[in-house]
Structure 1
């Protein structure tokens, strides 16, 4: 007696494609991967480095490096240290140290309107120096997010790459038969095409979850940039909100922070913001709500024993929570350094996939051309695979090169103060 057949799902029918269908999917995978390899590798590389951008700045800037001590300075002491060291500057915010060997960061504005980072030893409340707002982190983040183009055009352009990334993930699953067996398939030695093909597939299956996550969060950025952004976060300040009679001192600021901790003991304060006159402000940070940016949890600095206005991530709507989740998931910023290390490793794998895919195209075409020449009696060394891949990109290559060059020219102009695209 025959057992009843179970109808196949669209996904299973897609993955179990016929050889002719699989050939078509492979052609699509190769075409998209080759034509977009240059821009996608660049965006993936800058995103990967952006994950550890603060650590890279720490290596480059001595002012960011401190020696840990047993006790940390208070928020009031750090604010006072910054204002005392740079008396003519306006303090906008202070951000907690990124790690135990990192300085806390104060964002201040000079009388000329320039924004600078002032670094404060979070243990001793001593200013260790100041640096330009245009740091390596800023270059990586702005380049990765919108290629230093005006955000109105740059963000949709970059985030639209999520669509071909999804295409590459889907077509890769179709062409790689029984891909779930590839997690332990170590690259075979021998011919370059065989070894690099195995390496490409090994990286692809292990980074499948990461590629999908990056594609989906990138797709969300695209939706937001085209008008589908979430409603604004609830405001916690109004024009008639109470203000202190005089700017905060270290003592009054610490007293206000202490009242915040009494009102909201679960809040881990990460950022302190002061109004321009220094007579009011707010703190932001993390609570038990997962995968949100610090700004999702905010409370005004209490000026008395009365409850201060607050905003909690737990009270946000689904659309707002989804919007707040995108950045932590995209950059791995929701956890300590081991999480960022995982994001960095898989980001490097995704960057490598972009390059090895183009290289495999070059190997395949160069090998086929060499075989045809040998068959016709015109033996000779095969062409360099990288050169073949570069030629195969056709006009796309010059478009991407021009775009990337323009991006860095805009960065130089913005950094030198010749143009102002974002201020």
Structure 2
């Protein structure tokens, strides 16, 4: 009975993790690269570097917007993204007859270093990892659900692997790698050792991946668990004849900082129509919350702070939504936690490959033995 149960768990472990190894490995590898997407962008694209040899102070965001509008006179700026200090600010804009563009603006010199009308490296890696570049139709992508489903596979492989590997905790105190007993034994030892030392990482990736799946299901079923920016009412609009906002972005940023002095703005959304507002979001004094966890919404007509949003005001689902990304991508501790996530991402990718090799060799051997047994039976019968 025990042998039967062990065989069942082994087969379940194999079918959970190995037949889909190609997709699983692709998700792991792209996610590992996405962890360092900002750093790789800095390394490979000189125009993305915010060089500051004269140690200048960062310019105000409205100055960067004016620099883009001077470069592209008909640009309608919608968003400004503030990245790490060593990367340029990304100013998103649209023009007539052209696809949406991104201007790389050095926040220290005010120079527009590149105009990008295509998919940049950061967006490409996040899209490849997040939904395998499957198309989106009506806010729905098969690729997104396929990637999220890998969290179920990962969690199932983790549970069945621990059931199969008896006394797995010994791998922490007495790791065993047999180098002189053939390739199969070496692969098995490496696979088991990597799995045990990656338990925390596998569990973390599984849980955050499951959250992304739940989040998509909630979105597509119109369950509103996220904070929507307010819309101006008719009474809050200016009198007839006034065409442009009279409250500047500089003043809106000051209002936001007065609400949350600890906030570091990372997302600045411009009003897109006459009833829209300034949307200013950033990170705060907690490393576990993402860069959109503190938000202030300001009227472009009166300068009134219409609403605020912070971790203290979040519901349970909103809290999970804002802590999932730092835990999934390892951004909560800067470059050092990114390096740890990158290392374990490589280990996880390697586990998917070694697991497939082990499963493949056993499958081939079992098929060969079955063929030989059938041939022997036929000889006896004949």
Q: TM-score range by the shorter chain?
A: 0.7 to 0.9
In the alignment, which residue of structure 2 is the partner of 1:346?
Answer: 344
Q: Which moved more, 1:138-147 or 1:42-51?
A: 138-147
Unmatched 5+ stretches in structure 1: 1-16, 376-423
Question: Residue 356 of structure 2 aligns to a residue in which SS?
Answer: helix
Q: Does 2:30 align with 1:36?
A: no
Kept in 2: contact 1:230–1:323 (CA 8 A): no
Q: Which moved more, 1:333-342 or 1:272-281?
A: 272-281
In the alignment, which residue of structure 2 is the partner of 1:391?
Answer: none
| Aligned Cα root-mean-square deviation (Å) | 3.0
Q: Which moved more, 1:361-370 or 1:53-62?
A: 361-370
Q: Does 2:307 align with 1:309?
A: yes
Distance 1:75 1:177 in 2: 58
Kept in 1: contact 2:175–2:193 (CA 8 A): yes
What is the TM-score of this pair, normalised by structure 1? Answer: 0.75
Distance 1:248 1:67 in 2: 34
Distance 1:306 1:365 in 2: 68
Q: Which moved more, 1:287-296 or 1:129-138?
A: 287-296
In the alignment, which residue of structure 1 is the partner of 2:123?
Answer: 138
Residue by residue over 1:307-354, the C-alpha shift from the partner in whole angstroms, topping out at 9 and shown as x without a partner, is 453222320111221222222222223331212222111111111111
1:175 aligned to 161, 164, 172, which one? 164
Kept in 1: contact 2:13–2:156 (CA 8 A): yes
In the alignment, which residue of structure 1 is the partner of 2:213?
Answer: 222
In the alignment, which residue of structure 1 is the partner of 2:179?
Answer: 189
What is the TM-score of this pair, normalised by structure 2? Answer: 0.83
1:238 aligned to 228, 232, 240, which one? 232
Residue by residue over 1:8-65, the C-alpha shift from the partner in whole angstroms, topping out at 9 and shown as x without a partner, is xxxxxxxxx9443222211211233221111111111111112222222333322101
Aligned residues: 356
Distance 1:365 1:280 in 2: 61
Residue by residue over 1:361-418, the C-alpha shift from the partner in whole angstroms, topping out at 9 and shown as x without a partner, is 234455678899999xxxxxxxxxxxxxxxxxxxxxxxxxxxxxxxxxxxxxxxxxxx
Question: Residue 294 of structure 1 aligns to a residue in which SS?
Answer: coil
* 1:159–1:97 distance in 2 versus 1, CA, 3 Å: closer
In the alignment, which residue of structure 2 is the partner of 1:334?
Answer: 332
Kept in 1: contact 2:6–2:164 (CA 8 A): yes
In the alignment, which residue of structure 1 is the partner of 2:146?
Answer: 157
Distance 2:118 2:311 in 1: 29
In the alignment, which residue of structure 1 is the partner of 2:113?
Answer: 128
In the alignment, which residue of structure 2 is the partner of 1:103?
Answer: 88
2:272 aligned to 269, 276, 283, which one? 276
Kept in 2: contact 1:233–1:296 (CA 8 A): no
Residue by residue over 1:279-305, the C-alpha shift from the partner in whole angstroms, topping out at 9 and shown as x without a partner, is 952211012355333333211246667
Distance 2:367 2:183 in 1: 16
* 1:285–1:349 distance in 2 versus 1, CA, 3 Å: same
In the alignment, which residue of structure 1 is the partner of 2:292?
Answer: 295
Q: Does 2:39 align with 1:55?
A: yes
* 1:234–1:225 distance in 2 versus 1, CA, 3 Å: closer
Q: Which moved more, 1:197-206 or 1:274-283?
A: 274-283
* 1:268–1:169 distance in 2 versus 1, CA, 3 Å: same
* 1:52–1:29 distance in 2 versus 1, CA, 3 Å: same
In the alignment, which residue of structure 2 is the partner of 1:389?
Answer: none
Q: Does 2:101 align with 1:116?
A: yes
The Cα shift of 1:139 comes to 2.3
Kept in 1: contact 2:102–2:116 (CA 8 A): yes
* 1:305–1:153 distance in 2 versus 1, CA, 3 Å: closer
Question: Residue 6 of structure 2 aligns to a residue in which SS?
Answer: helix
Kept in 1: contact 2:229–2:279 (CA 8 A): no
Unmatched 5+ stretches in structure 2: 374-382
Kept in 2: contact 1:230–1:320 (CA 8 A): no
Question: Residue 160 of structure 2 aligns to a residue in which SS?
Answer: helix
Distance 1:159 1:44 in 2: 12
Question: Residue 134 of structure 1 aligns to a residue in which SS?
Answer: coil
Q: Which moved more, 1:218-227 or 1:264-273?
A: 218-227
The Cα shift of 1:230 comes to 5.2
